[in-house]
């Protein structure tokens, strides 16, 4: 296994995730899937991105799940954004995540993305059924088929932002974080404002992006006094922001941001970037320290364990480093004879993944490298007791003189 792991080390430390595409081969952002909904009585197409498992030698990670409405419009951009901030150049600004794009079906966008009925919008009012579809069919399906962590984000723009906000207020158990891009809170005579149920948002995260939709000559102060119909959209959003300031529970982590340079149509791209950075603002770790042999191993270990403890508290589930990533770092340091750093990363994998064979095999390689045969034999035996590997067994036999 060592040669495979050294190869992995080389490709991870290069910090280059992009590959040269084969000629005449399409670039893929994910895979199509579908689910028949008994609630909506229709087949629902899905667009899915799930991070690939590095190799079968390592434990399968669990990933937060992003659900995005209007998936046919925003899925490719969202996948590219996440890959840039979670894969490329060693970035850890965001975690690697599963992305579920929910395309609209036929002419049913208004039906699905409106929580109440408004006669000005024919076919509206199916939001309750759409929410039930998410809760009872889609979320269980994703949890069963994909390596989903118990942390979910719902994202919507315009009417989708209205639905995301409605879910936070009336169905807060479904998601942990809600991103509303220029939400259509004016819908149905501002019905969502009449009984906002903000107390239900306890412990959640909410990001609301506000587009520049005002008439020329108005700013965010002047528009509050404007009675023209064209100002109703932004005024309702600003009024909801006021409600958040005065009535939001203290444990709701929320942010509202006005984008003067973006209108309703251009806003989603930057809103997705800023909203996800807000939700996962604690995720980034100074990864240059991983490769810095001058950083004392004990100090680095403390920084790493405190970081993942903080993430686990923030996200509400046990967040671990990627086994493959730390394994590669361990072999990088071992190859460079930074023995304390190698022991640190192999030891952290033993700590975080005690039921896996590979961390013990790697620790055996570390002890063999420092000529401590007794401990190397101990760790190889432990690895073999969990999973038999010919490679590990051969190393053990060689040390035992067999």
pLDDT at residue 55, as a whole number: 59
Domain positions in the chain = 26-279, 288-400
According to DSSP, residue 94 is labeled: S
pTM of the model: 0.89
According to DSSP, residue 225 is labeled: G
- Topology of domain 288-400 in CATH is 1.25.40
Class of 26-279 in CATH:
alpha beta
pLDDT tens digits in sequence order for the chain, 402 residues long: 443 343 333 333 333 333 444 556 666 789 999 999 999 999 999 999 999 875 566 777 899 999 999 999 999 999 999 999 998 887 889 999 999 999 999 989 999 999 999 999 999 999 999 999 999 999 999 999 999 999 999 999 999 999 999 999 999 999 999 999 999 999 999 999 987 899 999 999 999 999 999 999 899 998 999 999 999 999 999 999 999 999 999 999 999 999 999 999 999 999 999 999 999 999 998 878 888 888 899 999 999 999 999 999 999 999 999 998 899 999 999 999 999 999 999 999 999 999 999 999 999 999 999 999 999 999 999 999 999 999 999 999 999 986
- CA 169/CA 100 separation, integer angstroms: 22
The pair of structure tokens assigned to 269 is 């791209």
- CA 171/CA 193 separation, integer angstroms: 16
Best CA proximity match to 322, nearest among 10, 36, 51, 67 = 51
Best CA proximity match to 92, nearest among 282, 346, 312 = 282
Whether the Cβ atoms of residue 254 and residue 207 lie closer than 8 Å to each other = yes
pLDDT at residue 196, as a whole number: 83
Q: Is the dihedral of CA 19, 20, 22, 27 positive or negative?
A: positive
Categorise residue 43: left if φ over 0, alpha if ψ from -120 to 50, beta otherwise.
beta
């Amino acid at each position: 296994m060592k040669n495979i792991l050294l190869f992995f080390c080389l490709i991870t430390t290069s910090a280059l995730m992009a590959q040269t595409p084969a000629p005449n081969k399409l670039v893929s952002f994910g895979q199509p899937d579908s689910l028949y909904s008994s609630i909506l009585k229709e087949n629902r197409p899905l667009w899915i991105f799930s991070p690939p498992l590095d190799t079968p030698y390592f434990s399968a990670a669990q990933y937060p799940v992003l659900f995005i409405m209007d998936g046919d419009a925003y899925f490719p951009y969202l996948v590219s954004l996440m890959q840039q901030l979670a894969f490329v150049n060693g970035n850890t600004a965001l975690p690697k995540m599963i992305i579920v794009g929910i395309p609209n079906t036929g002419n049913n966008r208004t039906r699905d993305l409106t929580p109440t009925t408004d006669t000005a919008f024919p076919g509206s009012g199916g939001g309750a059924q759409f929410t039930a579809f998410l809760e009872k069919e889609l979320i269980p399906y994703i949890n069963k088929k994909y390596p989903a962590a118990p942390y979910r984000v719902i994202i919507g723009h315009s009417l989708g932002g209205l639905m995301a906000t409605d879910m936070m207020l009336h169905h807060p158990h479904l998601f942990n974080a809600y991103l509303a891009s220029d939400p259509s809170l004016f819908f149905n005579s501002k019905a969502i404002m009449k009984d906002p149920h903000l107390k239900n948002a306890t412990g959640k995260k909410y990001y609301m992006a506000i587009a520049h939709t005002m008439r020329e000559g108005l700013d965010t102060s002047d528009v509050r006094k404007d009675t023209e119909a064209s100002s109703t959209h932004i005024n309702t959003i600003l009024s909801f922001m006021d409600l958040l300031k005065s009535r939001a529970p203290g444990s709701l982590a929320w942010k509202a941001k006005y984008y003067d340079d973006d209108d309703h149509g251009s806003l989603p791209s930057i809103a997705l970037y800023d909203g996800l950075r807000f939700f996962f603002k604690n995720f980034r770790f100074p990864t240059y320290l991983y490769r810095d042999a001058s950083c004392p191993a004990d100090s680095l270990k403390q920084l790493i364990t405190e970081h993942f403890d903080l993430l686990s508290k923030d996200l509400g589930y046990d967040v671990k480093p990627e086994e493959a990533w730390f394994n590669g770092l361990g072999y990088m340091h071992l190859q460079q004879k930074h023995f304390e750093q190698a022991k640190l990363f192999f030891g952290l994998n033993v700590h975080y993944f005690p039921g896996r064979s590979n961390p013990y095999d790697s620790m055996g390689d570390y002890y063999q490298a420092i000529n401590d045969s007794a401990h190397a034999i101990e760790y190889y035996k432990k690895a073999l007791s969990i999973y038999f590997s010919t490679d590990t067994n051969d190393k053990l036999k060689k040390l035992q003189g067999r």
